[in-house]
Amino acid sequence: MNTSTENIKVVDHKINYNNLVFYVIDTTNSILNIDHTMGYDALILDASDPEYARIVLKKIRSHYNPEFYLKPVFLLNFKETKDPLLNNMHDGLMTSYDQVVSMSEVAKRIFLKTTQLDNQLIPSFEGQTVKKVLNYMYTRDIRTLKPIVDLNSSIGYTYPELSINFTNTEEPQVLEILEWADREGLIWPDFYERVYLCNNCNSGALSYREVCPHCNSANSKSEDLVHHFPCAYIGPISDFQNNIDSSLNCPKCNKTLRHIGIDYDKPSVIHHCNNCDQNYQDAFIKSKCLSCEDDIDVKYLVPKTVNIYKLTRKGRSAATSGFLSSSLEVDDIFGTINMQTLRIMLHYELEKVKESPAQKTSIALVHLENIFELYNKIGKKGERKLLEELVAVVRENIKSSDVIAFESSSTLYLMLTNTTSENAEQKLMNLTALTENLIKKNFNSFKVNLLYKVKMLDANKKAEVQLQELSKDFFA
């Protein structure tokens, strides 16, 4: 291609080059509404103000839509920073607009790779997040997830490609997701470092110090104990000191101490607490959490391994051909059955419907559309608690012969026996209100988008097919 740099001009924040439109973002863009970049092929982000650049870059890369998070972003006027996000989540550095020439090649390579991606929806929060990271890594030819020291991260380390989807304080969740991806066989861990986290808030910002075992105060004075062999006197070194010179004299026999190991030694150390006046040797080591201010005995800290993760074969192909999550942890919530059992039960239900056509049975799909935003905040334990409460509410409002099955932590199926589709519709409207209320009340006024679809069982179709149709109708 024969293109000269002369026709590179910025017009109204845009550069047209080589059939690509670059959109330039600098502090004069009042935007920060990322939707404005929709449709542009690549972005040039002015990084003279790293603070600003960081905010914009994070908005782009943490977006749920591949249109944004996969968009090539080039940094202009970038100066080396300590920010792992800014350092790692761009696609190239520019010092002048002329470099658009080479950047366009980079962008095209990314586009090519983007077209190869599989767009399957993974039915879990972890799955979705990991797929997103895998997509990004694939389009950028990244093979490892490497932890980088980050003072802003609550655990002290950050995995830029993954952590960008979370806030600094949500960093412990990043570790959970990595553990999940490890269990799924998508990534392979290599030990990198161990961190200890607060057992209350999971923060790694801890201040360690020796404290008095009696009153937990760190206000103490430590002294060597000195043993004078000839007279067997033993006491803190201050017993031997004087105000005049630096010689040490035994308070019992008045002799001057001469030579350590010969006439005296220091068999141990003693601490004196200035707060409660106790003497002790077995100082406790406590760590104060700088985030929640809990004072924790070190043995109760939560140890976590920070690994370097390499993509496995499954992980490498997951971006282009998708992957099946093998373990749905929502399986064993009390009051539910798993999808396998649901299919079998539907099969028998169909037999019954065939025999007595008067009997009507409905199936319903319920989807909590934006629930991952909440899971993101409340973590794995909170998620489980929420689902358990949800099941309890649903169970109260359906018959005992009805069943609930989770397909993922955001999608569940109901089988409602002796229920026409109209009745089912009515029931689900009630349930929607109840669920929305429940979540709103328990989770800080979070407003969940609950969507559902109801279908009456057709005696002439296979159970499996009917479930697929329901899902297809819903997500189409």
Residues of this chain that interact with another protein (CB under 8 A) are 213, 225, 227, 229-236, 239, 252-253, 261-263, 265, 267-268, 270, 279, 281-282
Two tokens, residue 349: 């239900």
Count of chain residues binding Zn ion (CB under 5 A) = 21
Question: Distance between CA atoms of 333 and 384, rounded to whole angstroms?
Answer: 8
- Please say which residue, 148 or 225, places its beta carbon nearer to another protein: 225
Give yes or no for a contact between 333 and 390, defined as CB atoms under 8 angstroms apart.
no
State the CB neighbour count (10 A cutoff) for residue 140.
18
- Please say which residue, 183 or 252, places its beta carbon nearer to another protein: 252
Nearest distance from residue 157's CB to another protein, in Å?
Answer: 34
Two tokens, residue 313: 């074969």
Q: Does 283 bind Zn ion (CB under 5 A)?
A: no
- Please say which residue, 261 or 357, places its beta carbon nearer to another protein: 261
Helices (H), 264-338: 313-321
Of 25, 289, 365, 403, the residue at the interface with Zn ion (CB under 5 A) is 289
Query: Segment 161-200, which members bind Zn ion (CB under 5 A)?
Result: 198, 200
Nearest distance from residue 445's CB to Zn ion, in Å?
Answer: 25
Give yes or no for a contact between 253 and 231, defined as CB atoms under 8 angstroms apart.
yes
- Residue 265: name its binding partner from another protein, Zn ion, none (Cβ under 5 to 8 Å by kind): another protein
- Please say which residue, 234 or 438, places its beta carbon nearer to another protein: 234
Give yes or no for a contact between 236 and 281, defined as CB atoms under 8 angstroms apart.
no
Nearest distance from residue 221's CB to another protein, in Å?
Answer: 15
Nearest distance from residue 273's CB to another protein, in Å?
Answer: 13
Question: Distance between CA atoms of 107 and 140, rounded to whole angstroms?
Answer: 10
Phi then psi for residue 9, to 5 deg, are -135, 145
- Please say which residue, 291 or 317, places its beta carbon nearer to Zn ion: 291
Query: Segment 201-220, which members bind Zn ion (CB under 5 A)?
Result: 201, 203, 212, 214-215, 217
Which one of 120-128, 134-142, 289-297, 438-446 is the stretch in contact with Zn ion (CB under 5 A)? 289-297
Give yes or no for a contact between 206 and 291, defined as CB atoms under 8 angstroms apart.
no
- Residue 134: name its binding partner from another protein, Zn ion, none (Cβ under 5 to 8 Å by kind): none
State how beta strands 206-211 and 42-46 pair: unpaired
- Please say which residue, 248 or 456, places its beta carbon nearer to another protein: 248
- Please say which residue, 174 or 257, places its beta carbon nearer to another protein: 257
**What's the sign of the alpha-carbon dihedral 19, 25, 26, 29?**
positive
- Please say which residue, 283 or 302, places its beta carbon nearer to another protein: 283
- Please say which residue, 251 or 335, places its beta carbon nearer to another protein: 251
- Residue 142: name its binding partner from another protein, Zn ion, none (Cβ under 5 to 8 Å by kind): none
Start-to-end CA distance of the chain, whole Å, equals 42
Q: Could you tell me which residues are beta bridge partners of residue 310?
A: 144, 188
Site string for Zn ion, 227-256 (x = CB under 5 A): -x--x-x----------------x-xx---
Nearest distance from residue 240's CB to another protein, in Å?
Answer: 12
Question: Distance between CA atoms of 468 and 471, rounded to whole angstroms?
Answer: 5
Nearest distance from residue 249's CB to another protein, in Å?
Answer: 13
Nearest distance from residue 131's CB to another protein, in Å?
Answer: 50
Give yes or no for a contact between 378 and 386, defined as CB atoms under 8 angstroms apart.
yes
Question: Distance between CA atoms of 18 and 69, rounded to whole angstroms?
Answer: 22
Nearest distance from residue 287's CB to Zn ion, in Å?
Answer: 9
State the CB neighbour count (10 A cutoff) for residue 474.
16
Nearest distance from residue 229's CB to another protein, in Å?
Answer: 4
State how beta strands 403-408 and 411-416 pair: antiparallel
* Cβ burial 84-97 (10 Å sphere, 16+ → b, else e): bbbebbbbbebeeb
What are the Cα distances from residue 226, in Å, to 235, 249, 268?
6, 11, 8
Nearest distance from residue 213's CB to another protein, in Å?
Answer: 7
To the nearest 10°, the Cα dihedral for 344, 345, 350, 352? 130
- Please say which residue, 273 or 311, places its beta carbon nearer to Zn ion: 273
Residues that bind Zn ion (CB under 5 A): 198, 200-201, 203, 212, 214-215, 217, 228, 231, 233, 250, 252-253, 273, 275-276, 289, 291-292, 294
